[in-house]
Amino acid sequence: MFTKRIHGALMLIGLLAMSGALASAAEVSWITGKCDLVEWTIEPNDPNDAEAIRFSGPSQSYADLCLAEHEFGGRPVLQVDTQAKQIELRFVPPATADCTNFWEPVCGLEGSFGPLEAGQWEFLSKHPEATFSIPFEVFHSRALYYVDRYAKGANDGSSWADAFTDLQTALAVAVESAEIYVAQGVYRPDVGGKTEMGDPNATFEIGNSIILRGGYAGANAPNPNERDVIAYETVLSGDLLENDDAYISIRRMAGDPNRVDNSYHVVSIHDTDSSTVLDGFTITGGSAFGNLGDDDGNGGGICIRAASPLIRDCLIIGNSAATYGGGVYMRDRDEPRLVACAIAGNWSESRGGGVYRDWGSEARLERCLISGNGAWSDGGGIATHTDGSLTLSNCVISGNVAAEPAVGRGGGLYAFMATVTLDYCTLTGNMADLGASLAINASSDVGTTATRVSNSILWDAENSIWTLGEARPEIVYSDVQGGWFGAGNIDADPCFVEPGYWLDQTDTPKDLTDDLWVDGDYNLMWDSPCVDAGDPCAVPDPGETDFAGRPRSLGAGVDMGAFELRNDPPVAVAGPNVWGFTLTEDGIGTVTLDGSRSYDPEGLPLTYRWYQKGEIISEEPTFTVELPLGSYDYTLIVSDGVNDSEPQDVVASVSTTVETSASISPTVISRSNSGKSLIATLVLPKGSRASDFDRSWPMLMFPGGIMSTEQISSIWLNGTAYSKGSFRAGDLLSVVPEDGRVELTIVGRLRDHQFYSATVNVRIK
């Protein structure tokens, strides 16, 4: 019953919790000379709100910044959105045109932004020549302690080199409002501090206003502050003797002899406020089967009492409990908040395999995955009981099971005497004999049971919803398998990209607890009936995001379910300004406009519209046009079938060539020797230097517009600059069918886009 791809699901959960702020000035410039940059980075990786943040990244090497900016379409600028906490690298025309040194190459960009206000930020670029996204967090300046089990220094917690080697010691000495950074590795609660080895009462107790962060590379890494909660997994494990079977079915965890020595609770959070943070950990191996206190049968992974912590970016997996909350237990007057967490593969012998909320607690789960959990009686995924409230938004509840035959209630969620609100949630693959998705028990008059579901998908089975008593759940603008009365509800296949499914590996169809749940991809297909079918009056908060961290409203209306169908507008890339030439005063030149590098963020096919003076003149990505002398403005707009791009302008110019002199060798060409090369040498226009020659543009030979295979520039001893191009004789012979004397025109281009030409004569025999 453990889920597959849980870490992949964590990656799908956007790791950004946005909030607005004011940022300092930002700057960006080209990197000159040679550089060995291979990716875009920021430094430091974990800045605080008093530090300036530097960044750098690679580009192709260009001879100078003028060429680079013409290629990129403009000067680099940083657009800072302080409300969304987003910094975007853009290229804004016009490009620099007055480079003083043509031989000062550039190879990338660097700059700074900051200091920035504390919070989650993103540095990104959508330009096709430099596409990247770097999420990072700016921290408050606090007392800071380091933990790394592999540190070999003084082990006083003052730095990565001198980090504590166990977490308990750091928790024991940390002052209130301190932060603790924990490097990758496995940490057990019976090691360090005042704990005793092998004591199942040992737990990581997080004090008030402590911020505990995992996922750091640590002392032995090139950059110890590099943080990635998946690549540098930091595990808090209740497996004190390191003898747990990682592949055991969830039901067997309850009686497994290898788990009788495990911690009752891996993490405990009691009597704290909302300034307490647990961020970026894997929490596993808790086994709440003790008998020494009120909570020893509850909350194998995390036990929360009268506390309001923020738990973010955590994987809570492989924990169990004798009564309530195999993964997480919450009780008493508190307001815990879980954001972007995955709660998977946990078990309860009674209620709430993944999560149990009880007695006055007002809990919120945002953008969380509750998958592959199980309980014997009620609430395979979640159980909420007795007073208080539970609010879930943009969550996925999949593949959970209430296993007791005939009377198991609420595969996804069970509610009794409590208020439940589900908004923008997806429930699928859950199983129970009574209410595969939801079981609502309102049979007692001790408290009230009120359940409201909106903008959600409940696609589990024909018996998705079970109720007992007077209070029927209010469900609106949702997709319910089997149907349900309510405004805007539908009963139609939601068309997930990849539905999850169950595998009965042991051929025991009546035992649900040993089956394997393979989680799916619950993004919506383009033809899903759930797209834009949510509440038409819904106005999401400006910073509200879906399960994957995308803006909640991306189309004509909000979508049902945890995922908003992403449809960012496409980006038109008309390319740099283009130049053509004519060989006569009143002639016509040809230019090619190329919009083929335009792109759609979702990969949808594009259509193209090129405008000139307000009229469409081409609907091809790339086209060639004949123009008289002069400059002409063109505009490109692309469409993905739903949205148009912003228009992008480009200038096409046609000029005459500057006449110069040339020579060619050989002057006699034999048709029997078509493999021979022709070498044309042109004197550059007066005042030009050899470095002015544009080697990126092939020299041309007419008739035929034959392109050179190689071209170089140099300078003679007398100071005259010249360019030399090599052409295949066979190419010329193919366009000149008759023998005899032929006048050839050779055309070259300077870096300022001025063309020059000369004529030579050859004889073909």
Three-class secondary structure of residue 573 per DSSP: coil
Instruction: Give the chain's length.
Output: 765
Q: Which of 216-225, 390-399, 460-469, 746-755 has the lowest mean pLDDT?
A: 460-469
679 in a structural domain: yes
With helix as H, strand as E and coil as C, how does 610-664 read?
Answer: EEECCEEEECCCEEEEEEECEEEEEEEEEECCCCECCCEEEEEEEEECEECCEEE
Q: For residue 161, tell me if it sits in a domain.
A: no
654 pLDDT above the threshold of 60:
yes
What tens digit of pLDDT does each residue of 11-68 get?
Answer: 333 322 222 223 345 789 998 877 778 889 998 877 877 778 999 998 887 878 888 8
- Of 2-11, 75-84, 409-418, 674-683, where does mean pLDDT reach its minimum? 2-11
pLDDT of the residue at 101: 56
Q: What is residue 14's predicted lDDT score, i.e. its pLDDT?
A: 34
| Mean pLDDT (whole number) for 133-156 | 90
Print the SS3 string covering 446-488. Answer: CCCCEEEEECCEEECCCCCEEEEECCCCEEECCEECCCCCCCC
Mean pLDDT over residues 411-416, rounded?
Answer: 95
Q: Are residues 321 and 411 in the same domain?
A: yes
Q: Given a cut of 50, is residue 386 above it in pLDDT?
A: yes
Residues 323 and 463 in one domain: yes
Domain end position, chosen among 493, 516, 534: 493
Same domain for 619 and 745? no
**Confidence band for 549, pLDDT divided at 50, 70 and 90:** confident
Report the range out of 421-430, 735-744, 750-759 with the highest average pLDDT.
421-430
pLDDT at 602: 72
Tell me how many domains the chain contains: 4
Is the residue at 169 inside a domain?
no
Quote the pLDDT of residue 4.
40
The reported pLDDT for the residue numbered 447 is 53
Query: Who's near 435: CB < 8 A, 6+ residues apart?
Result: 409, 410, 411, 414, 463, 464, 465, 466, 467
The predicted structure's pLDDT at residue 319: 97
Residue 279 pLDDT greater than 50, yes or no: yes
Domain boundary among 493, 513, 545: 493
Taking only Cα atoms into account, the Rg of the chain, rounded to an integer number of angstroms, comes to: 34
**Same-domain check for residues 391 and 255:** yes
**Residue 747, domain extent:** 658-764
Q: How many CB atoms lie within 10 A of CB 462?
A: 8
Q: Are residues 15 and 71 in the same domain?
A: yes
**Residue 217 falls within a domain, yes or no?**
no
Domain presence at residue 93: yes
Residue 312 domain-assigned? yes
Looking at the structure, tell me whether residues 111 and 122 fall in a common domain.
yes
For residue 539, is pLDDT > 50?
yes
Same domain, 631 and 666: no
- Report, as an integer, the average pLDDT of 80-92: 88
User: pLDDT-based confidence at 554, cuts 50/70/90?
Assistant: low
- Indicate whether 690 and 736 sit together in one domain: yes
Q: Residue 666 belongs to a domain with what CATH number?
A: 2.60.40.10
pTM: 0.67
Residue 86 gets the label, from left (phi > 0), alpha (psi -120 to 50) or beta, of: beta
> Is 697 found in the same domain as 607?
no
User: 606 or 555: whose pLDDT is higher?
Assistant: 606
Q: Are 470 and 340 members of one domain?
A: yes
Q: What is the pLDDT of residues 693-725, one digit of tens each?
A: 998 889 999 999 999 999 999 988 778 899 999
pLDDT at 16: 27
Find which of 80-84, 114-118, 656-660, 713-717 is predicted with most confidence, using mean pLDDT: 656-660
pLDDT for the residue 9: 39
Kindly state whether residue 298 falls inside one of the protein's structural domains.
Answer: yes
Question: Residue 11 falls within a domain, yes or no?
Answer: yes
Higher pLDDT, 84 or 288: 288
Residue 417 confidence class, pLDDT cut points 50, 70, 90: confident
Listed in sequence order, the residues at least 6 apart from 477 whose beta carbon sits closer than 8 Å to its beta carbon are: 454, 455, 486, 487, 488, 489, 533, 534, 535, 538, 560
Residue 531 identity (one-letter amino acid): V
Domain boundary among 138, 153, 183: 138
Residues 429 and 298 in one domain: yes
Q: How confident is the model at residue 283 (pLDDT cuts 50, 70, 90)?
A: very high
- At 485-522, the pLDDT tens digits run 999 999 999 999 999 999 877 777 666 667 789 999 99
pLDDT of residue 5: 36
Q: Are 650 and 664 in the same domain?
A: no
pLDDT of residue 716: 83
CA nearest neighbour of 6 among 331, 273, 293, 354: 354
User: Which CA distances in Å does 238 have to 161, 191, 222, 291, 315?
Assistant: 27, 11, 30, 17, 14
